[in-house]
Amino acid sequence: MSTDDYKRAAALKALEYVTDGMKVGLGTGSTADHFTRALGEAVEDGLRVIGVSTSVRTEALARECGIPLVDIDAAGQLDLTVDGADEIDPDLRLIKGGGGALLREKIVASGSNRVLIIADEAKMVPQLGAFPLPVEISPFAWKTTSRRIRDSLSRFDVGNVAIALRRNKNMSSFVTDGGHYILDCDLRRIGDPQGLAAFLDTLPGVMEHGLFIDLASAAIIGGASGVHIIRPEGSQLPLL
């Protein structure tokens, strides 16, 4: 089985947690796309749900799949969000934003009763940071914001400090759906994710960052030995 098969297996498992009448947040990325397509097939078979997309790209796919969509402002609190991740640690802290949708993803996840993270087993890591941390920033004064981040990173027990402005293949600056830039921070290891998240939350110019802490209700992981569900330690919240 390939990595893509593992992603799809996790997505199909997540579909079991969707029930009639739910308002569902739709994540962004190749794993989330599997879920959106599977949800579209279930809608075709009669399941009634309302979707809230986390990106322009997911919105287009959901429309193609026949999923009724509403704006997050009209939807209010969501029942469930299903999304992918770039890294997942044993406490279900995440790095997200590889696909550049972190701002909308975090807004949608934080407005959901439950958040299921779907991924292939390679995304599970003992410690966050091998994947460069995406930080979404205002284009205004982006070099200043980048410098302020760089000058502070060593306070958070990181293994390296290298920051790159995300670029498209033609080398133009990558611009998010919200019109912002992304800094990819290669840190190798993030020893203090909570501290780093708190710092970035308050830094002017930072619109959002890819550390998702205390947001995941469970991770559904597809791998060579099947699909496994990982819950945060001590979590009592029923998944259904």
Which listed residue (8, 10, 26, 27) binds ligand 5RP by CB under 6 A? 27
Report the residue number, 196 or 216, with the smaller CB distance to ligand 5RP: 216
Select the span of 21-29, 62-70, 165-173, 220-228 touching ligand 5RP (CB under 6 A).
21-29
User: Mask 30-49, x = binds ligand 5RP (CB under 6 A)?
Assistant: xxx-----------------
Report the residue number, 1 or 141, with the smaller CB distance to ligand 5RP: 1
CA–CA gap between residue 31 and residue 14 (Å, rounded) = 11
Contact between 209 and ligand 5RP (CB under 6 A)? Answer: no
Contact between 29 and ligand 5RP (CB under 6 A)? Answer: yes
The pair of structure tokens assigned to 31 is 């794993």
CB of 119 to ligand 5RP, least distance (A): 7
Contact, 139 vs 205, CB < 8 A? no
Report the residue number, 29 or 205, with the smaller CB distance to ligand 5RP: 29
CB of 22 to ligand 5RP, least distance (A): 20
Report the residue number, 148 or 178, with the smaller CB distance to ligand 5RP: 178
Contact between 51 and ligand 5RP (CB under 6 A)? Answer: no
Contact between 28 and ligand 5RP (CB under 6 A)? Answer: yes
Q: Which of 105, 136, 208, 233 is catalytic?
A: 105
Q: How many residues bind ligand 5RP (CB under 6 A)?
A: 18
CA–CA gap between residue 9 and residue 4 (Å, rounded) = 9
Query: Is 105 known to be catalytic?
Result: yes
Report the residue number, 40 or 222, with the smaller CB distance to ligand 5RP: 222
Which of positions 61-100 make contact with ligand 5RP (CB under 6 A)? 83-86, 96-100
3-state secondary structure the chain: CCHHHHHHHHHHHHHCCCCCCCEEEECCCHHHHHHHHHHHHHHHCCCCCEEEECCHHHHHHHHHCCCCECCHHHHCCEEEEEECCCEECCCCCEECCCCCCHHHHHHHHHCEEEEEEEEEHHHECCCCCCCCEEEEECCCCHHHHHHHHHHHHHHHCECCCEEEECECCCCCECCCCCCCEEEEEECCCECCHHHHHHHHHHCCCEEEECEECCCCCEEEEEECCEEEEECCCCCCCCCC
Select the span of 24-32, 74-82, 180-188, 196-204 touching ligand 5RP (CB under 6 A).
24-32
Residues found near ligand 5RP in the complex (CB under 6 A): 27-32, 83-86, 96-102, 105
List, by residue number, the catalytic residues. Answer: 105
